[in-house]
Amino acid sequence: MSDETPEYGATASPAAAPDETPQTAAATIEGLRREVEENWNKYLRIAAELDNLRKRSSREVEAARKFGAERLALAILPVRDSIEAGLAAAQSADSATMLEGQRATLRLLDQALAAAGIREISPHGEPFDPARHEALSLLPSADAEPNTVLEVVQKGYELNDRLLRAAKVIVARDPSAA
């Protein structure tokens, strides 16, 4: 047998060596106690760090929930100001000026939505996609391919490629189908 492998029935513990004195055994025990205490302190520090991480993450999630719409709110405030100015000017402005003001306000709103990652879905002429479109009716059409969007009744919207609202559409069907 090799020197590294203990014989059957022998223990590998240094405390069980037959030539060990009580003083060396006590020193070994004291060393092990220090090691246990050191490991326990490491465990306590790591547990405290983990608890602090959980608390910090919880605060960050709460702050994100509380202030997550801040960017959208800041982008929409000029739209509100524009609507308010339009209402104030409605008493003295002519219809052409009012119409141009409404168009400018709509452009501001579109810019605010785009800044917030909101994209319009207006699928006129595209193939019908039930994941992004809501079919309100089917109309026979000789001009359009079957299952193509003929008309968009209400635009849909996506937020960072996630559907917020499906586009409500009228879909073409084969005129020969009953």
- The lowest-confidence range among 17-31, 78-92, 149-163 is 17-31
Torsion, Cα 55 61 63 65, to 10 degrees, reads -150
Answer yes or no: is 8 within a domain: no
Interval 82-137: pLDDT, tens? 889 888 888 888 888 888 989 999 999 999 899 888 999 999 999 999 999 999 99
Q: Summarize the confidence of residues 42-68 as an average pLDDT.
A: 93
Instruction: Answer yes or no: is 178 within a domain.
Output: yes
| Mean pLDDT within 59-80 | 86
Do 124 and 169 fall within a single domain? yes
123 with 178, same domain: the answer is yes
Q: How many CB atoms lie within 10 A of CB 129?
A: 14
Same domain, 123 and 176: yes
pLDDT tens digits for 25-41?
899 999 999 999 999 99
**Confidence check: pLDDT of 12 > 90:** no
Domain shared by 61 and 74, yes or no:
no
pLDDT band (50, 70, 90) for residue 151: very high
Q: Quick check: 123 and 169 in contact, CB under 8 A? A: yes
Q: Domain residues for 90?
A: 69-116
Give the torsion through C-alpha atoms of 122, 126, 132, 138, to 10 deg.
100
pTM: 0.60
Cα gap 48→58, rounded to integer Å? 15
In whole angstroms, give the CA distance from residue 173 to residue 178: 10
Report pLDDT for 177.
Answer: 72
Checking if the pLDDT of 161 tops 70, the result is yes
Query: Could you tell me if 150 and 130 lie in one domain?
Result: yes
> What is residue 1's predicted lDDT score, i.e. its pLDDT?
44
Which pLDDT score, from 0 to 100, does residue 178 have? 57
Rounded to whole angstroms, the Cα distance separating 158 from 129 reads 14
Q: Is 5 inside any structural domain?
A: no
Domains in the chain, number: 3
